[in-house]
A = this chain, B = another copy of it.
Amino acid sequence: MGQFTKHVFVCTTGGTCPTQGDTEGYVKAMRAALGKAGLHTEIRVNKSGCFSQCGNGPMVVVYPEDVWYAGVKAEDLDEIVQSHLVGGKPVGRLLYQPGKPGPNVIVQKDKH
């Protein structure tokens, strides 16, 4: 019944994700990469509102698989596209672990 084999949503308008990365740019970059791979009609990337996981971003979710990524950096996008979206293998190191900051978020440790 679905229109896409994978439908990717990037939080671009939440309170924190867009401050943690150029999330609108993430959408453009993934679309461009999927276009090069000839998959732009079967895999859709969309901007989305807030996923209510604030502080763990930038957040990216892939449906219908229900795979969630946290702390996604711009330099991670190619791996997400090539390994997961094209190759079908999710990027384990970036998977969201609720309640923990994203894998790539630098946690400021208390100096004292």
Copies of the protein in its oligomer:
2
A108 at the interface (CB under 8 A from B): no
Instruction: List CB contacts (< 8 Å) of A5-47 with chain B.
Output: 7, 9, 13, 27, 44, 46-47
- Residues in chain B near residue A51, CB distance under 8 A: 3, 44, 46
Instruction: List CB contacts (< 8 Å) of A86-110 with chain B.
Output: 95-96, 98
CA distance A48 to B7 in the complex (A): 11
Mask, A37-66, CB within 8 Å of B = 1, is 000000010111111110000000101111
Interface residue ranges, A against B (CB under 8 Å): 1-3, 7, 9, 13, 27, 44, 46-53, 61, 63-68, 95-96, 98
